Amino acid sequence: MSATAERILTTTRARVIAVERETHDTFTLTVAPADGAAFEPFQPGQFSMLYVFGVGELPISISGDPAEAERLVYTVRSVGQATHALVSRKPGELIGVRGPFGTSWPVKEARGKDVLIVAGGIGLAPLRPVVYHVLRNRDDYVRLILLYGARSPRDLLYRKQLAEWGRAPDTQVLVTVDYGGLSWRGHVGVVTTLFRQLRLHPAETAAFICGPEIMMRYVIRMLEARGLAPQDIHLSMERNMKCGAGFCGHCQMGPYFVCKDGPVFSYRQMQPWLDVHEL
């Protein structure tokens, strides 16, 4: 078996170091290698296949800081049997890890530009590594703008960090919810309504989007209307995946295998296919 195949297809054991509750249904797991060898470095936007003994394996985006390679961090929403089993791990327990897999957000190409992040719900998780990267390499980028929408205040991820990021220089963090409730004093409305508060420099902006497909379609329309070119808009797609390496066939979307040609695509790549119903 070649070194690459070995790395991609062999499950290695990782020990859960911390499990933090983010919201009523979402948790962040931090894991460290259990058998000595260090984790493979990852790029912002990549994902791992996480295995729970006897339950199953599932693709989960890495939500931690790419500069901290000794640990891997995942933010998981408990929506089914396998994700429930994953977030129910206790510190000290083992899980299996394969990867990292897939393409990454083009943070190098975005140097010298404004970075505009638009996230919906759990879609903020694969984008958090971009925030970490930009804040660590602050001089490489101009403005950092984060637009984040969630269903309700209780669904907002990383609330403490959102407030911290908003206080960083040249950083704008705008948060909105679909349903506010009585105690919510922030913005209410879908994420595209936040664009009114923005002044974009379309030729000098790299936009990174992750969220429900319907939300991404509307955000793209908004960005195109503001003059962003398709190659400057990037989005992360979600599809069923069993292997992560292009062999199981489940993640196909038109000409692409989302696991290896994505999950991060430029809108130029996705433009012909994004609106095709049930592709």
Partner 1 sequence: MNESGAERGAAWLTRIGLDQLIAKLKELGYQVVGPRLGDGAIVYDAIEGVKDLPAGWTEEQEAGIYRLRRREDDALFGYNLGPQSWKRFLHPPVLRILAAEKSNGEFRILPPLDRPPRYAFLGVRACELAAIAVLDRVLLEDAFPEPNYLARRSELVVIAVQCTRAAPTCFCASMGTGPGVRSGFDIALTELGEGFLAQAGSERGRGLIESVEHEPASEDLIRQAEEAVADVAARLVRRIETQDLARRLQQALESPHWDDVARRCLACGNCTMVCPTCFCTTVEDTSTVPCDRVERWRKWDSCFTESFSYIHGGSVRTSVRARYRQWLTHKLSWWVDQFDMFGCVGCGRCITWCPAKIDLTQEVSKVVASG
Q: Closest separation between CB of residue 248 and partner 1, Å?
A: 5
The nearer residue to partner 1, 1 or 38, going by C-beta atoms, is 1
272: exposed, middle or buried (Cβ count in 10 Å: 0-12, 13-18, 19+)? exposed
Q: Closest separation between CB of residue 241 and partner 1, Å?
A: 9
The label of the residue with tokens 């759990």 reads: 122
Please say whether the beta carbons of 126 and 262 come within 8 A. Answer: no
What are the start-end ranges of the H helices in the chain?
Answer: 3-9, 81-87, 128-136, 159-167, 213-225, 258-261, 267-270
The nearer residue to partner 1, 79 or 225, going by C-beta atoms, is 79
- Please tell me the distance from the alpha carbon of residue 167 to that of residue 139, in angstroms, as a whole number: 17
Give the footprint of partner 1 on this chain (CB under 8 A).
Answer: 1-2, 4-5, 8-9, 11, 13, 53-57, 77, 79-80, 93-94, 96, 238-240, 242-243, 245-250, 252, 254-255, 257, 260, 272, 276-279
Q: Closest separation between CB of residue 57 and partner 1, Å?
A: 7
The nearer residue to partner 1, 111 or 260, going by C-beta atoms, is 260
The backbone region for 206, taken as left when phi is positive above 0, alpha when psi lies in -120 to 50, beta otherwise, is: beta
- Please tell me the distance from the alpha carbon of residue 59 to that of residue 50, in angstroms, as a whole number: 6
Q: Closest separation between CB of residue 121 and partner 1, Å?
A: 11
The nearer residue to partner 1, 2 or 183, going by C-beta atoms, is 2
Q: Closest separation between CB of residue 231 and partner 1, Å?
A: 19
The nearer residue to partner 1, 73 or 258, going by C-beta atoms, is 258
